[in-house]
Structure 1
Amino acid sequence: MKAQVGDWVVVESPRVGEPRRVGLVIRVDHTDGTPPYMVRWTEDDHESLFFPGPETHVEKPEAMLRPVTRR
């Protein structure tokens, strides 16, 4: 997985009926875009160092302007 500042990370819920988490990448320490990332989460503006798992994907900023569909 690779991301840049301004990208969005989307963490799909492992359970049906629970919401996904969405966060804005605000810092990337590796020049090649690999994790971990500093992320500001949309649900509460909390910032945390994030190590993505297999349920996570990256969306470019322009992709978040259109509705995100479940995968």
Structure 2
Amino acid sequence: MHASKGDRLVVHGRVVGREDHVVEIVEVLGPDGTPPYRVRAENGHETIMSPGPDTVVDHRKAGDVT
């Protein structure tokens, strides 16, 4: 997995009825865009995250509109 600051991580819900969880990468801590990442949730909470296989990188930046 490779990501950059400003990319978003989408963690897919693993239980029926549970929505996807989206966080923004605020800092890449691994070499060459690899995990771990410092991420920020919509509520402002920040944490360090090493994404699992149920996570994908959304390379659209937070300000992009599609």
TM-score, length-scaled by structure 2: 0.87
Letter in 1 for 2:40: R
- Residue identity over aligned pairs, in percent, reads 39
Q: In the comparison of the two structures, how many residue pairs are matched?
A: 65
Written as runs of structure 1 = structure 2, the 5 A alignment for 1:1-71 is 1-42=1-42, 44-61=43-60, 65-66=65-66
Which whole-Å CA distance do the structure 1 matches of 2:11 and 2:65 have between them? 17
Gaps of 5+ in 1: 67-71
Which whole-Å CA distance do the structure 2 matches of 1:36 and 1:30 have between them? 6
TM-score, length-scaled by structure 1: 0.81
Letter in 2 for 1:51: S
Tell me the SS of whatever aligns to 1:32. helix
Aligned to 1:69: none
